[in-house]
C-alpha cells in the first residue's frame, strides 16, 4: 500500500523576500517539486491587514515556488498551500517551514506507531460579504474536511493542528461589496475587538471546529462569531489577510499508516502565562522530560512549535490585575509575550506564534493552543515500528 512520509524543514529568513534557505533545500534534494505541499511561516512587518512585509513575502515565495515547480505563478496554489502570519515582535525569528510529503510503498500491515501525516486543501473563493460570517465558516469547514481526507484522517482525535489562512477585508473589498448592495461584518480593518481581522480569524476557527465535529453546524450562525467564547476549536490556528481571495488549509495529524519520522502533539494552555501548557504539547509529541523540564539532551529532536497567543478578554490573570488591555500596542505585545513564553521553554526563537487579537474561538477562554513536531529517536522499520 501507499503511505505518507512527511518532513519539515525550518528556514530562518533574513528579509521578507529571502528564499535562500528554500533554495539550499532544493539544491540538496531535501525538497522536490513533487513533494513540496506547504510553506508555513512568520514574516516581519506590522501583522495588520495592510502588512506589506507579509504581502512581499507571499509574492516572493510564490514566484520562487513557481520557478521551482515549473508552473505559472497563478497555478502555484493548486500545488502548494501558503500560510503566512505577519509580525515578529519580541523574540520571534522570521522563518519559513517547508512541509514535504512523499508517498512510499509499504507492506499492507495494520498497527504500528502513529506518525505525522499532512493534508491540504483550498476553499472556494470567499466574497467580502462572507468574511466573518457563515459563508466563510462553511467554506473553511468544507476545505478542512477535504484536507483531512487528503491526509487520510477520519478520527478527529488524530487531528492535532489545522492551519488556515483566509481573506480579510480591505477598503477596496468593502467598496466592492457595498457596490453590489451587500453589507460587511465590520468597517474596522484592525485586529481590535471589533475589527474585521478578528472576525475573519474567528469565523475560520469555527469552520475548523465544525469540520471534525468539535461543534455541530446547527449551533453556528453569523451571530455567534465572537460573542460565544465557550464555542471554540482546540486545534485551529487561523489568520487572515486582504491579499487572499480563497482560504488555504493545512491539516496535521498522526496515523498508523504513516512512515514519517515525525510525530505531532498538541495541548491547550489555561492562561497567558501557562508554561506547563507548552511543556504538555512537547510531551504529547513525545519529547522526553527530566525533573519536570524538557531533557536538554533530547531537545535536538524538537523540529518546530506552533502556538497561538490570544490576549485574554479579562484584565485579570490568576487573580492579579494586568494593564495589557489598556495598552495601545496590545496587539503586538500579545504576540511578543507568546513568543517569549514558547522560547523560554524550547530555548529557540524560530517558533510560529500567531495572535495578538483579544479573545478568540481558537482555544478556550483565556487559553491558547500549542502544537509541537518532534523527530523520532529511532527510525521506523518497514512495518511501522521502532
Catalytic sites, residue numbers? 165, 239
Between the two ends of the chain, the Cα-to-Cα distance in Å is 19
For the chain, counts of helices (H) and of strands (E) = 7, 16
Cα 46 from chain centre: 18
Q: Please provide residue 81's backbone torsions phi and psi, each rounded to the nearest 5 degrees.
A: -90, 135
Asked if 4 and 102 touch (Cβ cutoff 8 Å), the reply is yes
Asked if 372 and 252 touch (Cβ cutoff 8 Å), the reply is no
Conformational region of residue 29, where left means phi above 0, alpha means psi within -120 to 50, and beta covers everything else: left
- Per the listing, cell 465544525 goes with 210
Burial (CB count <10 Å: 0-12, 13-18, 19+), residue 292: exposed
For the chain, the residue count is 386
For residue 155, what is the DSSP state? Answer: -
CA distances for 181 relative to 94, 308, 353, angstroms: 41, 36, 38
Q: In angstroms, rounded to a whole number, what is the distance separating the alpha carbons of residues 25 and 375?
A: 18
Amino acid at each position: 500500500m501507499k503511505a505518507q512520509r512527511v518532513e519539515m524543514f525550518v528556514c530562518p529568513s533574513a528579509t521578507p523576500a529571502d528564499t535562500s534557505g528554500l533554495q539550499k533545500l532544493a539544491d540538496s534534494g531535501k525538497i522536490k517539486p513533487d513533494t513540496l505541499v506547504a510553506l508555513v511561516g512568520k514574516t516581519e512587518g506590522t501583522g495588520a491587514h495592510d502588512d506589506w512585509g507579509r504581502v512581499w513575502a507571499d509574492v516572493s515565495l510564490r514566484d520562487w515556488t513557481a520557478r521551482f515547480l515549473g508552473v505559472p505563478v497563478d497555478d502555484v496554489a493548486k500545488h502548494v498551500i501558503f500560510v503566512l502570519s505577519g509580525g515578529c515582535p519580541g523574540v520571534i525569528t522570521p522563518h519559513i517551514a517547508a512541509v514535504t510529503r512523499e508517498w512510499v510503498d509499504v507492506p499492507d500491515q495494520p498497527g504500528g506507531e502513529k506518525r505525522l501525516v499532512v493534508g491540504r486543501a483550498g476553499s472556494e473563493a470567499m466574497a467580502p460579504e462572507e468574511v466573518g460570517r457563515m459563508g466563510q465558516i462553511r467554506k473553511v469547514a468544507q476545505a478542512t474536511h477535504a484536507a483531512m481526507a487528503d491526509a487520510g484522517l477520519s478520527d478527529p482525535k488524530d487531528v492535532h493542528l489545522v492551519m488556515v489562512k483566509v481573506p480579510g477585508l480591505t477598503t477596496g473589498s468593502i467598496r466592492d461589496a457595498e457596490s453590489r448592495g451587500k453589507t460587511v461584518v465590520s468597517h474596522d480593518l484592525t485586529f481590535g475587538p471589533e475589527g474585521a481581522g478578528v472576525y475573519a480569524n474567528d469565523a475560520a476557527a469555527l469552520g475548523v471546529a465544525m469540520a471534525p465535529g468539535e461543534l455541530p453546524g446547527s449551533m453556528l450562525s453569523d451571530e455567534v462569531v465572537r460573542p460565544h467564547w465557550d464555542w471554540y476549536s482546540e486545534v485551529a490556528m487561523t489568520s487572515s489577510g486582504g491579499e487572499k481571495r480563497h482560504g488555504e488549509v493545512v491539516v496535521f495529524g498522526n496515523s498508523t499508516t504513516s512512515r514519517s519520522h515525525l510525530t505531532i502533539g498538541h495541548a491547550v494552555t489555561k492562561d497567558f502565562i501557562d508554561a506547563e501548557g507548552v511543556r504538555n504539547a512537547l510531551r504529547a509529541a513525545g519529547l522526553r522530560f527530566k525533573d519536570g523540564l524538557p531533557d536538554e539532551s533530547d531537545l535536538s529532536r524538537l523540529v518546530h512549535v506552533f502556538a497561538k497567543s490570544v490576549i485574554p478578554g479579562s484584565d485579570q490573570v490568576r487573580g492579579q490585575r494586568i494593564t495589557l488591555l489598556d495598552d495601545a500596542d496590545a496587539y503586538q505585545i500579545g504576540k511578543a509575550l507568546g513568543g517569549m513564553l514558547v522560547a523560554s521553554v524550547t530555548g529557540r526563537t524560530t517558533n510560529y506564534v500567531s495572535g495578538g487579537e483579544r479573545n478568540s474561538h481558537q482555544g478556550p477562554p483565556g487559553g491558547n493552543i500549542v502544537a509541537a513536531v518532534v523527530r523520532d529517536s529511532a527510525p521506523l522499520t518497514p512495518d511501522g515500528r521502532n
